[in-house]
Amino acid sequence: MASAKAIKVFLFTPTGEDSFTASGSCDNKTFVAKTILWQGDPIFKVQEADSEGEVKYRKMSDSNFNRGERIAIARHLKKVRLGELELDEKPTAAELATQSLKELRAQCKDRGLAGYFAKGVTKADLVARLAS
């Protein structure tokens, strides 16, 4: 029997009439998701940082998320979009500290924070920015 996924949504932002961006975690793995229109309705697609830190859609074979996790994330985000679920609290500094530098940079980019690629910026600096 499959176990339920622990999904938390920390940021949910409308980016247009029928488009949204969200970030959160699924079983302690961070994600960024954006909507695409499919048959006239917005659906969520998980995006991930590649080896250079660029956030984009990845094939299932290259992804850190399996099919079940992707479906669970999309279903949860749809409920948030429809107002059936609320946002979760921001991640704590301890939760952020478990993520890679690339994941932290992707979250900074998603939140619109500046200076995350500046020379000398450390993982601790990014954790502090995201936790505040």
* pLDDT tens by residue, 32-66: 899 999 998 899 999 887 777 777 888 888 888 99
Domain with 70, as residue range(s), is: 7-131
- Which of these, 45, 25, 29, 27, lies nearest to 37 by C-alpha position? 45
Residue 98 lies in a domain: yes
Give the Cβ contact number of residue 112 at 10 Å: 7
Domains in the chain: how many in total? 1
> What single-letter DSSP state applies at residue 49?
E
Give residue 11's pLDDT.
Answer: 85
Kindly report the pTM of this predicted structure.
0.68
Residue 1 lies in a domain: no
pLDDT beyond 90 at 67: yes
Residue 19 lies in a domain: yes
Q: pLDDT tens-digit profile of 68-118?
A: 999 999 999 999 999 898 887 777 777 788 878 888 888 888 777 888 888
Sheet holding 55-57, edge to edge: 7-14, 20-26, 29-38, 41-49, 55-57
Residue 30 lies in a domain: yes
